[in-house]
Amino acid sequence: MKKILIIDDNKDIHVVLEGLLSMNKNVSIFHAYNGMEGYQKLQVLKPDLTILDNQMPVMSGFELLEKLHRENKRYPIILLTAFGQISDAVQAIKLGAIDYLTKPFEDEQFNLIINKALKIGSLKNRSAHNDISLEHANNNQEKYKIIGKSKIFQDLLKHALLVAPTDINVIINGNNGTGKEEIAKYIHYNSQRSNRPFIAVDCGAIPDNLFEREIFGAVKGAYTGADRDTPGFLEAANGGTIFLDEIGNLSTSAQTSMLRVLENRVYRKVGGIEEINLDVRLISATNAKLFEEVAKGNFREDLFHRVNGFDLTVPDLKERKEDIPLLINYFITKFNGELKRNVQNVSPEAMDILVNHSWTGNIRELINTIQKAVLLCPDHKLDKKHLSITPAEVNIDFKEESDLINNIINQSISISKKIDLFEREIIKYAVETNHGNKTSAANWLKISRKTLYEKLKKFGMFGG
């Protein structure tokens, strides 16, 4: 959970900000009502982000920043300032604030700045990484060592280590919850860029009309309300790695923008004319098969080849069952600390259920299951009664399962034949309507010429 501290003397502002922030379920919100109280809570809580009002009694936001600066104490802080106080806000940035918001602000603008600040702030405030697996190397550089001893997972890590020291663009395939971002971090923290930022961007979370602004940044006056230059994710990742999660969600225009940047290795901020050299390593991830999306015309083939310098596939959790006990023990230790529990071991029956569960949500589902189990376990041993999954979910009668699978297969074959017949007639009609012109027929069907030829070959229709 990310800790966010709000420091403001206006209780109504606390209510408004908490309402906006609480839409993110992964945050815990704390409150202080003047600068001195905020100063004290900062040192106790060490929050991931602080939203600080400028105008307050006892100690203003600006005075608090000056005090922290004098004491060389660094916290990720966003300053709230009223219109007309821009000069103070600029000075606040010099004193260590990572951004500022001018009141009044729009909800969308607020959410974008907060999300970006949480990413950048966590990098500025990081003294140690405590994700799934982390060790301090002998040279004191932080590197990830991800948990897993299964052959399929160890093979993945070997390939990740092979590509890590290079600047080759990497694409990571895998289903939801398998840990694609952790593999991306593993590559970054074993690369020559390990002491530079790792910036993760969820491509599906950025509206298309804001994509360039968020990725490239914007100059003052580029759009209504742009009263200063703003950095983009590429600037935040300068010298390091940018991770584009679910890159397949990029719109056509966003794909074109990214292709241009990757080809030329320069970009411009929105509204700017200055070309900025690109010095980042790109790692992408997708749960879709991009080459299939290329064939369908949903993803640019030239961009695909740019991002797919080296590809990795993260296996589902069910493919690496021998790693499950290791992960369970790790997460039990993690949640013991967070939830003030003292779970020491897992009963054989509970472990059997956990190892043989289907885990369709992969590691993400495992984390949620163990967190809930640790919370429900009042003593040292975690048992099956503490689990939110049951043996019934894993011990399905083999004959019933076999009959069910055969029935589904037979229905699927029947449906597939009908679809093929319908598709053949549609293609035949398109070719005939366009007088045998394959390019026109492909355009009429809204598919690529390559896809049309594959269909014609499939249905034995090359003769006309």
One DSSP character per residue, 242-267 reads EEEETGGG--HHHHHHHHHHHHHSEE
Can you tell me the mean pLDDT for 371-396? 78
Assess whether pLDDT exceeds 60 at residue 402.
Answer: no
CA angle 363, 367, 370 (to 5 degrees): 130
pLDDT tens readout for residues 337-348: 889 899 998 999
Under 8 Å CB-to-CB from 356, ≥6 apart: which residues? 321, 394, 395
Beta strands in 259-403 (DSSP E): 266-267, 276-277, 281-286, 310-313, 345-346, 381-382
Domains and CATH numbers, the chain: 2-124 (3.40.50.2300), 137-315 (3.40.50.300), 322-393 (1.10.8.60), 405-458 (1.10.10)
Can you tell me the mean pLDDT for 380-392? 80
Question: What pLDDT sits at residue 289?
Answer: 85
Assess whether pLDDT exceeds 80 at residue 128.
Answer: no
Assess whether pLDDT exceeds 90 at residue 188.
Answer: yes
pLDDT tens readout for residues 255-308: 999 999 998 889 999 998 888 998 999 999 999 888 889 989 999 999 999 998
Question: What pLDDT sits at residue 408?
Answer: 63
> How crowded is residue 432: how many other Cβ atoms within 10 Å of its Cβ?
11
Question: What pLDDT sits at residue 97?
Answer: 78
Return the closest-CA partner of residue 6 out of 37, 39, 34, 31. 31
Helix, strand or coil, per DSSP, at residue 397 = coil
Can you tell me the mean pLDDT for 194-204? 88
For the chain, the average pLDDT equals: 82
Whether the predicted model's global pTM rises above the 0.75 cut: no
Mean pLDDT is highest, among 23-32, 41-50, 251-260, for 251-260
Question: What pLDDT sits at residue 91?
Answer: 67
Amino acid at 197: P
Q: What percent of the chain has pLDDT over 90?
A: 28
